[in-house]
Structure formats: C-alpha cells, structure tokens
Structure 1
C-alpha cells in the first residue's frame, strides 16, 4: 500500500442489509439500498441485493451507468431530479425517479412518449426539511396536471427528512405523508406502488413501533454501509455491524512536539484561527491524508489512545501519546468514517 485506502467488508454490508430487510418485511416495507456513499460500486450493490433489498437507489448517472454496465439489472431508483439535458438517459436507464418539478415531469413525459414508454415517478412532498418537494397545499393541482400526461405514471409518493434541514421523521410528519398518498390515490383512482417514508433516519420509528401504517418503502444507505452509527446515536441497533467501510493511511512522521504552536498566531491555510491548549510535550504522528481527501471532522481512530488534532490539505495530525504500542513510521492507522467522511473519501482520486 502506498497511500490512503478504503477497505470495504462486503460480508458486513450483506448482513446489515439482510437484518434491515427482514425487520422491514415484518411491517410490509420494501427496502431500496442506497449505493451513492460508495460511488455506485457494483460489488456493494450486489452485496445489498444478496441481503434482499428490492432495488438500488442512486443519485449520479455515472454510478448508474457503472451499475448497468456491470450487469446489474435490478430496479434502480434515481434519487435526484435530472437536468433537462439528461432526461432521455433517465427514461432509458432507471425504473423510477424522484420528481418534484412540473417542468421536468412534463419533459420526462414527452421523451418517454417519443420512446414508446411510460416512466414511473415518485412525487416528492416537502414536509419541512426543505431539501426538495412540492408543498402539501400544491399536491392536488400538481397531481391533476401530471395525470393529464401520457408518458409518466405516479408510482409513488415520498419525502426526504433528516438531510438539509435536519428535520427528523416523526409519527406526525410521516402520518401526513400517508394521508397525502391516500389523497393521490383517490384522485387518480389507482393504488400507489410506493409510499416512501424516507431514509435510514426513519428506522428508529420502525424499531419503536411508531412508523405510521401505510408506509411501504424506505431508501437505506447509512444503516447498511455503516451499521447505523449515525442513525442510532443513543441506542445502537445491536444486530447491525459497524465498520463495513474503514479508512487506513500511512504514518509518515512520529515526533515528540510541543502541543501548542510557537510564534505569532494568524490564520491557517483554510482561513481559520485555531486555538490550541498547552498540554506540554506530546508524541505526535502525521498520516498521509488531509482535507483534500476526506472530511477530517468525520474521522474516529479505531486504535485506543489515538486522537485527531487537525489537518492541512495533505497532512493529518494525530496525538499518539497514549497509544499502546505507539505507532512507528510505516505503520498503518485505521479510522471509522462518518457518512460525510465516507462520501468524500470515496470520491477522492487520491484514496484507493
């Protein structure tokens, strides 16, 4: 190994998927496995499918193309509305897409009709997180206009929570989603395939028995890829396995150094004015990874006695005074990653 590397345990991913799928099935819920955290790696998608997910959910066309080129023919859900220039690719490569903008839906219908197809959409409703979706007051007129289009079918109603606005799923807001779905069914005269109650963050309600009846789909990534370390912060789901994705990097320097920089303090390379406590001399190590590669704040060293101090663009500084045994130059150091850290590490061309 010559640089930072993400190691992926496909067995853990498969087992986590199976645990979640089996529990969801007891409540009549089908799971789509979200692979965007690993850039749509076909190996990860196959592990999720072996674990029983009903389909794969992705946000990037490059990842979807990678999945299809690898021979994966499972249903694929597009998580992000496409630009107008790529609508034909949506109709051609995905089975259902999340939509909230009438102009895009009209173009999807036009292209699908031209291709002799009907494209399934999941109409997204904004229940307060403010990422995407139509307002509930606009549901009826929006559905009426979509029903007049011949090239698209409203296959589901969904929402996004716990993302941009950090608004968590509750019995109240997901109950509203179910009510909006029933309104849509009455208006269209057809039963919806999907009422999609969000992502990993909705699993807490499921385990507590408080997920509203009627929800039959969840889009799950973090809980499968990371064992729910961010979803279940206070009470972990014991059957889920963490550390399916680990980051490792090389130690390139180990020295006893003062804990507080010496000289006149100013701004660092990122425009910040850091403050350092004076803890005397400490054994410090440098790993060959930095802010150009990963979200440093999302790294947790796996070895005891190792603490992240900070980073420049290329260097990660660690306090290893309490590590047993202390690391040496050439050793590898391993980290758990937050979901944000995993996203950046997987997309960095400098991380294997």
Structure 2
C-alpha cells in the first residue's frame, strides 16, 4: 500500500493531552478512563494514552477489547456499550466493568460470571435527559433492588451519557441527579456507590469552571485526549494540543473548471441531488481520497483558502482558487480531522497510519 494516503499520528501530543486532563481531573478527585473507540484501539495510541496516566481504558466495541487483550493489555477495561445478551460470556471474560441498563442482561452476566468463578462489576446507566441508553430516573431504585442480589454481579456505581445522541449539555443540575440517586441508594438500600461516572469530554468544561457536582468521580474521555476539542460544547480546548492527527492525500488533478456542472442534474452516486452556486471558473484540485476512505464532512483543510466542494467514493474535489500556495499534481494536501473524521479514517484499511514522536 502506498503511503501517499496516510494518517500521521503524533503520540507525544496525545500523551500530553492525556496527562493534562488527568492532572486537572485528579485535582478535583475525578478518575479518567481513556476511551479508545475513536481510533479502533490502535495499540500505539493506546500506549500513549496510558503513558499520560489515565486510570483505566474504556471502549464500546468488544472487537477492540479482544485485540487489546491479545496484545497483552492488562489494564482495567470498561465496556461502554450496554452488552448484547448474546455476548455476555466475552464481556465477563475480557472486561472488568460493563455499563448496563437491562435487568435480563445483568442476570445473564451474573450467570456467566458464576460459571467462571469471578465477580463482574457493573455500572447502571441512568438517563438524565439525553435519551440514549439508561434507566429512567424514577425507575432507578426499583432496578437496583432487582439486581442487588444477582450472584456474580457487583454493582459499583451509576453513570450517565451526555451529548452523544440528544445533544444535551452536561450541567450541574442534570449531573447532580446522579449524585442524589447515589446517596438515595446508599441511604435506603445500604448499598455503597463507589463510582459516579459523569459523562465524557463534554463534561470537562464543568471541571474547568469548578462547577462539577461534588461526588462525580469518573469521566470517560476520548475526544479531548485525542483531538483537544469538545464537539458538544462547540469549542477547541485551548490548553490542549489540537493537531495530534493529520490526514494527508496526494493531488491527482489540477484544472480550471466551471463551478456548476454542465447538463441536466440527476442524483449523484450516493443518491443525493447536488446543489451548486455559480461563482464562475475556479481552480480545482482532486485528491486521491474519497468517501470510502473518510467521512468527508469530518476533515478540514489545513491550508487557508482551500475549500472542499464534495467527494465521490474515490475522489475529493477541492477549490484552490483562493489559496496563495501553488498546488501541482503530486503535491500533498493536509487535513485536520474531527472526531467523526477520526472514527472513519482509523478503520479504513486504505489509509496508512504513521506514528511519530516530537
């Protein structure tokens, strides 16, 4: 495979981001799980995150977790996607902790744990408003009563997800619901709640501002460590490195062309009806990168004055009219990636991963 289409990964910047986030969170009594799903748990990146001092790892994909274990990873790993009933044996065997919301699955996890002679730790997910996974607030106590006696299971805490589906922002008010539920369980049922997991990167802003409710003692951080960004809060985190990942692609055509296609317009290769603004003849480049390689809406040109016009499976068309750089066939263009862009590029076998240290 040619190296002309590649994702360059600066491991030192990832380690730096992890260390800064850990430093901040530890100063507030909050543990940090390094989330590895955003880059398909590539071992070199995992090691950089661990070197930054995270308290454990977390991933949503059992395939990633299996690869980590096969690579000899002995760190505590939390399964972030509520388990499939059909996969409870693997969850117990390879994960120290799993997040859960279904009593039937917890019971099955308990049965698997008993067969293996181990205790499996669970965190009950509570839906405080984002409407992804989780028990509704009014049903938490009843659910705890149902699972507290399940053999092979140890309830260690409560967790919640913020921002990932409904876009709901973490706030003192909604995260404090988790704190109050934890106190209620301890007071009424006598069950100690060791972990209150208050979301991911979007919750970091509350920590920075000193507004995180006392009692929240775990965050699950992926995007902040990897990219130094916070998509939910629409911000670049200015005290972190934002360029640890750079995607590079080769220019395969440079031509002056009209800005509007010529002829009757039907649907493109993906079934969409494209729309174009007539801004005259433009200088355009094509790079050897397409939708089969990356989520195009998740990549951003590094050079100023360059605009992505669109892409097909294998070609990305770029307007280079307004850049001061003289771009020729054979040149490389560099792109920053968003979290969605990183997700797609990381799992593409067409994109070579190149690791470096400063």
**What is the TM-score with the length of structure 1 in the denominator?**
0.96
Report if the CA contact (8 A) 1:253-1:329 is conserved: yes
Q: How much is the aligned-residue C-alpha RMSD, in angstroms?
A: 1.3
Deviation at 1:208, TM superposition (A): 1.4
Q: Which has the larger displacement, 321-330 or 209-218?
A: 321-330
Q: Does 1:259 align with 2:259?
A: yes
Match in the other structure for 1:326? 326
**Alignment match, 1:201:** 202
Contact 1:109 1:150 in 2 (8 A): yes
What secondary structure sits across from 1:125 in the alignment? strand
Structure-2 separation of matches of 1:212 and 1:341: 32
Task: Give yes or no for contact 1:36–1:63 (8 Å, CA) kept in 2.
Answer: yes
Alignment partner, residue 221 of structure 1: 222
CA shift, 1:82, in A, is: 2.2
Counterparts of 1:187 and 1:327, CA distance in 2: 69
Aligned to 2:58: 57
- The residue number in structure 2 matching 1:296 is 296
What 5-or-longer segments of structure 2 have no aligned partner? 353-358
1:338 corresponds in structure 2 to 338
CA deviation map 1:178-220 (0-9, x unaligned)? 1111122234424222100000000111111111110000000
Shift of 1:2: 4.3
Q: Which of structures 1 and 2 has the larger relative contact order (alpha carbons within 8 angstroms, sep 6+)? A: 2
Distance in 2 (alpha carbons) for counterparts of 1:282 and 1:328: 15
Cα pair 2:159 2:198 within 8 Å, conserved: yes
Point out the more displaced range, 244-253 or 81-90: 81-90
Q: 1:13-162, aligned counterparts within 5 Å?
A: 13-162=14-163
Aligned to 2:180: 179
- Unaligned residue ranges in structure 1 (runs of 5+): none
- Higher mean C-alpha displacement, 316-325 vs 184-193: 184-193
May I ask how many residue pairs the two structures share in their alignment? 351
The Cα shift of 1:232 comes to 5.3
Q: CA deviation at 1:299?
A: 1.3
CA–CA separation in structure 2 for the residues paired with 1:109 and 1:187: 24
Contact 2:309 2:317 in 1 (8 A): yes
DSSP-derived class of the 2:327 partner: coil
Q: Distance in 1 between matches of 2:70 and 2:266?
A: 51
Q: Is the 8 A contact 2:202 2:230 kept in 1?
A: no
1:334, distance to aligned residue in structure 2 (A): 1.0
Q: Distance in 2 between matches of 1:231 and 1:25?
A: 23
- What is the rounded CA distance, in whole Å, between the counterparts of 1:312 and 1:237 in structure 2? 32
Aligned to 1:250: 250
Q: 1:309 maps to what in 2?
A: 309
